[in-house]
Amino acid sequence: MKPDKFDHITDTELLAKFYADGSNEWLGILLQRYTLLLLGTCMKYLKSEEAAKDSVQQIFLKAITELQKYKVVYFKSWLYMVARNHCLMQLRDKNIFVTPDDEKHLQAEELNTEEIRDKEKTLSLIESSIVELNEEQRTCVILFYLQKKTYNEIAASTGYSVMQVKSHIQNGKRNLKIMVEKKMNNN
């Protein structure tokens, strides 16, 4: 997959840019990131590819309208809830009611909203803390955890020995954990 020129901008930053200048371009970038997630969610509920594609378009329109009225903090979890509610309404309009047992089954693999918020907050804190690591640790942590490189691949591309790579990853991971915990306690 070709990297997007906006990959380095977080969801939170894109939302802030949208709220600052009102340009739908920022929302377009943000919504494009979640197209497949929305399609998968809609397919799970509606069981029809065409209905799911139509629903994704309707959810995009609803998101654009709602985001102009309300300030959203956790975009991904908010968008997921909008999609889920949209699908449930579609089913209800067709007199297809989701029983509580079916609802539990559909949600079995889904995290509740609070867990999603907590995970997104933690990921956001990790993202903001990773830049505070020293260069060696930051480079090795990014290559190992985000780009899924092996110790040998990291050593080859950075010039560090395999032992140095292991050490930088271990120390970087520990330092990240300390920074994230400190930031969580300060909130």
Q: Please, which pLDDT band fits residue 123 given cuts at 50, 70 and 90? A: confident
pLDDT > 90: percent of the chain: 27
> Domain total for the chain?
2
**22 and 86 inside one domain:** yes
pLDDT band at 170 (very low <50, low <70, confident <90, very high): very high
For residue 113, the model assigns a pLDDT of 54
**What CATH number should be reported for the domain holding residue 81?**
1.10.1740.10
Share of the chain above pLDDT 70, in %: 83
Distance CA 47, CA 3 (A): 31
pLDDT at 135: 92
Asked which of 110, 142, 168 is the last residue of a domain, the reply is: 110
Q: Please check the confidence at residue 97 and state whether its pLDDT lies above 60.
A: no
The answer to whether residue 72 scores a pLDDT higher than 90 is no
Record the pTM. Answer: 0.51
Half-sphere CA count of 59, side-chain side, radius 13 A: 30
Same domain, 57 and 25: yes
Q: Residue 109's pLDDT band (boundaries 50, 70, 90)? A: very low
How many other CB atoms are found less than 10 A from the CB of residue 161?
Answer: 11
**Does 42 have pLDDT greater than 80?**
yes
| Residues 88, 15 share a domain | yes
* Whether 24 and 71 share a structural domain: yes
Measured CA distances, 151 to 59, 158, 170 (Å): 42, 10, 12
Domain range spanning residue 93? 11-110
Q: What is the mean pLDDT of residues 74-95?
A: 84
CA distances from 144 to 83, 122, 140, 164, 177 (A): 33, 19, 6, 13, 16
Predicted local distance difference test score (pLDDT) of residue 140: 92
171 pLDDT band, cuts 50/70/90, is very high
